[in-house]
């Protein structure tokens, strides 16, 4: 398992320079409008999408066929992707937090960043960004494993609407029952997002295991 994780981390280093440039570019673009919190979400989601790149590398090199010759199960292959996804998202959150804080001081010094742009505490922003990015990233793993990297990328973009649609349906159901979402109830929902992310990722992991069990290499 450790070797599978290290393999993905080593491979993604080739894309680290381009991703670093993108994240720094977004720091200039998003910090004045969405603040540190919005930038943390942006970094986390962008970094989580690098999991698709690792599967693309595996596909082009026919890695999984080689890996299954070794004492590695298909379930191990799926599990390693979700662990790497968590690492990518964590790196994105940490990068967004550090660069966001530094960038906010720079923007404030030149008068580009308003005070109190967001009332969400940084701790909550980091926690929920990690949860949401793993939710979005976890959808891409079974799609890419099933349909391949090229088709998977298109389906991943479309699949982003699934969590949004679920949240909208829940919101409409609550409204139908006369339940109003206040600031305090929204805070509770945000703090519950890590638990929702764990359940969602486990569900996506089981789907990925099923896809790999039926896949011929």
Q: Give per-residue pLDDT as tens, 57-70.
A: 888 888 877 877 88
Q: Across residues 114-124, what is the average pLDDT?
A: 64
- How many domains would you assign to the chain? 1
Q: Rounded CA gap, 74 and 213, in Å?
A: 7
Closest CA to 82 of 9, 160, 164, 5: 5
Containing structural domain, residue 40:
2-214
Q: What is the mean pLDDT of residues 20-26?
A: 87
Each residue of 38-60: pLDDT tens digit?
Answer: 889 999 999 998 898 888 888 88
């Amino acid at each position: 398992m450790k070797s599978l994780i290290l393999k993905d981390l080593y491979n993604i280093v080739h894309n680290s320079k381009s991703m670093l440039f993108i994240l720094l570019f977004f720091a200039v673009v998003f910090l004045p409008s969405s603040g540190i919190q919005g930038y943390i979400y942006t970094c986390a989601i962008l970094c989580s999408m690098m999991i698709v790149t690792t599967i693309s590398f595996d596909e082009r090199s026919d890695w999984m066929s080689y890996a299954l010759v070794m004492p590695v199960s298909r379930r191990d292959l799926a599990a390693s992707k979700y662990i790497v996804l968590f690492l990518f998202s964590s790196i994105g959150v940490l990068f967004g937090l550090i660069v966001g804080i530094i960038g906010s001081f720079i923007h404030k010094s030149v008068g580009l960043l308003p005070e109190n742009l967001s009332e969400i505490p940084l701790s909550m922003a980091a926690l929920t960004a990690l949860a949401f990015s793993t939710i979005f990233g976890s959808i891409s793993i079974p799609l890419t494993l099933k349909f391949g990297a090229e088709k998977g990328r298109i389906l991943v973009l479309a699949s982003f609407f699934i969590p949004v649609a679920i949240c909208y349906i829940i919101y409409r159901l609550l409204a139908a029952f006369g339940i109003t979402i206040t600031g305090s109830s929204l805070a509770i929902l945000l703090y519950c997002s890590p638990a929702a992310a764990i359940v969602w990722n486990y569900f996506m992991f089981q789907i990925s295991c099923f896809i790999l069990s039926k896949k011929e290499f």
